[in-house]
Amino acid sequence: MRPEPTDKKIGVGGAIDVAVYWGLRRDWKAADLLRRAAQSTAGAEGFRRGALSIAVVGARRMSRLHLEHMSLAGPTDVLTFDLGSDKAS
């Protein structure tokens, strides 16, 4: 997977970095929309700085990741990894 350029939305006291990785063979024209939606949502939830990585992968890769990280066989729609929060006070 090759990362697209990281985009930053400057907020009060920092920035929200969003990286979108596209792991499928087909080109996807909505990566920028996904990045902007993630930045908007993070800001609306009170996050003013931090980093978010989004990986779009196929069913086989998702099945491997699901087994590797959650010890569950089969694909899933979403895997999340909470690395803590740093919401604005």
Find out whether 43 and 15 touch, Cβ atoms under 8 Å. no
Mean pLDDT, the chain, integer: 79
pTM beyond 0.85: the answer is no
Distance of CA 71 to the CA centre of its chain: 21
**Residue 22 and residue 30: Cα distance in Å, rounded?**
10
At 32-67, the pLDDT tens digits run 888 999 999 998 998 888 888 999 899 999 999 999
Find out whether 16 and 41 touch, Cβ atoms under 8 Å. no
**Residue 22 and residue 65: Cα distance in Å, rounded?**
15
**Residue 7 and residue 24: Cα distance in Å, rounded?**
21
